[in-house]
Amino acid sequence: MIRYSSAVSHRRKPLRDLFNLRHGELGPVLIAGLFFFCVLTALMLLRPARDALGMARGIESIRWLFIGTAVVTLAVNPVFGWLVSWLRRLQFISATYGFFVASLVGFWALLMFAPDAVGERSGQVFFVWFSVFNLFVTMVFWALLADRFTSDQGKRFFALISIGGTLGAIFGPWLTSQLAEPLGTPSLLLVAGAFLLLALLAAWLLVRVMPDRAADATAAVVADAERIGGSAWAGLRAVARSPYLSGIAGYVLLMTVMATLVYFTRLQMVAAVADGTDARAALLGSIDMWTQIAVLVLQLTLTGRLIRRFGLGVALAILPVATALGFIGLAIYGSFVVLILLEATNRAVQRGITRPAREALFTVASREDKYKAKAFIDTFIYRAGDVVGAQTEGLLGRLGLAMGGLVSVVLPLALMWAALALWLGRAQAREAAAAGT
């Protein structure tokens, strides 16, 4: 028996060494990965249609849609804060996901039973709704992970868990291509809703198998049963009062400004090379698929080792550097191929390296801040960055400044962004040491 146990342990050791997992961590990591897989599958089933519908009235209309989305996220934040204050953890997670499933059923019913009512205006409503939906379902996922796992665990396997999301982001567009014709586009909304329900089931399983960080089992049960309490606007106040949370907000703001500049540059080039909603959706979907493959390669080979070896600060600083270099290359060559490489690199680094590192920053925050402050940062601050980026790109275009003018804006912002990343890495290490996590 001793020899058999030793043999099993010996066989498992290379797997644990490869993924840096310890005893009892494999199950929660697999459940969290399945959770993220379901969330990203649901999102990516719908994203190409969102972008194509948004372009129906031209690129200028998208800038106004970004403003509408930011306003809606600001309005929704106190509602989510109220849910966090008054409901238990799994209850407000269920309420959030349940609302979006009900919304998908509503859109499906509109498309099926009142197709004549579907037009440009409803397409814009769907664009704004999806943009809010996208942020909240992923924010809730990462907030729960930051709540269940310690700072050390976040650094070790948030990148590994992200692989589940990347597989979902690859599977979603593939599933769309397979089901769109036999089932029809409206039915894809119900498929996305089904994956959200599976994600909710995974959230319940994760809470059950991953014990709370409380000092003993009794305290853990009480912590899970208690409401978080506090004000519905506590997240906004926490960000305003805490230099650490303000730093995270600043990082997210700069990140989304840059990503939006890339996004609008892509839309303009796609509009120039593809005519019609279907052709644009196909091209955008193809870019998404190849980007996700690049993300998967990064997550499997580099992210976890990079965070462990150099820390969160360096991992967070890679994206500003990569973005600045990409814009310089685009200014020099200006081709559609270079743009695809820029966007693929930007999104691959953001999702494959930056996202796991950024989410690990919240593992040292209080439980209330993990849900309320994080919701404010990941929704309103994120969408505010979209608005700033969209309006900046539009202003430069109206002034007649081409790519050279854009680069002159990007480089100083990238320098500030990288410096903030390094500061956040050091601040997180101090907070983790103080908390003993």
How far, CA to CA in Å, does 61 sit from each of 54, 258, 418? 8, 19, 32
Query: Which one is predicted more confidently, 185 or 390?
Result: 390
Identify the pLDDT of residue 33: 94
The rounded distance, in Å, linking the Cα atoms of 260 and 390 is 6
C-alpha torsion angle, residues 328, 334, 340, 341 (rounded to 10) = -40
Amino acid at 159: A
Amino acid at 293: I
How far, CA to CA in Å, does 336 sit from each of 204, 283, 329, 341, 413? 44, 12, 12, 9, 24
Phi, psi of 144 (to 5 degrees): -65, -40
Identify the pLDDT of residue 265: 74
pTM above threshold 0.85: no
Q: What is the mean pLDDT of residues 249-266?
A: 87
Using one digit for the tens of pLDDT, what is the confidence trace for 277-291?
A: 555 556 656 666 677
CATH of domain 24-435: 1.20.1250.20
The rounded distance, in Å, linking the Cα atoms of 196 and 187 is 15
Lowest mean pLDDT segment, chosen from 88-97, 188-197, 284-293, 302-311? 284-293
| Triad 20, 143, 222: Cα angle to 5° | 95
The rounded distance, in Å, linking the Cα atoms of 256 and 247 is 14
CB atoms within 10 A of CB 395: 12
Task: Read off the pLDDT band of 221 (50, 70, 90).
Answer: very low
Q: Where are the domains of the chain?
A: 24-435
Query: Which one is predicted more confidently, 39 or 163?
Result: 39
Residue 108: pLDDT over 60? yes
